Amino acid sequence: MQVKGNALTLLKQNGYKVTKQRRDMLLYLSQFQHSYINVTAVDGHMRALYPGMSHNTIYRNIKAFAEIGIVEQRNRGEQATVKYQCDFEHPHHHHFICRNCGKVIELTMCPLDFFSEQIPDCEIDSHNFELYGLCGTCKQKLK
């Protein structure tokens, strides 16, 4: 398995060195393009590969990856979770997340215009839009 070139390009464009540790972290994270994983699991995986690697280094890299658009972060309760970017061509997008299996499906439409029209005197500087429910597979299993 190989890290997709988009992630490595983004690292370089943003002044980060492509180290073996970063490449291995991206390789691991690339398995989670359609579901979120707990950051503690990423930490455990990386510390198993590199026993001398600190928690701070791992979390700092995840934060940097999120800031430059390689991964998407969110909190699930008190757990920090992360997933590999599912659309490098359109980094601004939204998701449907299955409450049962955790599968993430990218939504192609952004509802921001709809809300902007309802508050014409306001300026929106950020938003996050996610839908939750059961994916088709989980829905069929529950029938």
Residue 122 in marked binding region: no
* Cα dihedral across residues 80, 81, 86, 88: positive or negative: positive
Residue 135 in marked binding region: yes
Q: Which two tokens stand for residue 75?
A: 């909190």
Residue 95 in marked binding region: no
Query: What is the identity of the amino acid at 87?
Result: D
End-to-end CA gap in the chain: 37
Residue 127 in marked binding region: yes
Residue 34 in marked binding region: no
**What Å distances lie between residue 67 and 7, 10, 17, 135, CA to CA?**
12, 11, 16, 29
Residue 86 in marked binding region: no
| Residue numbering of the annotated binding site for Fe cation | 92, 127
Question: What are the binding residues?
Answer: 92, 98, 101, 127, 135, 138
Known binding-site residue numbers for Zn(2+)? 98, 101, 135, 138
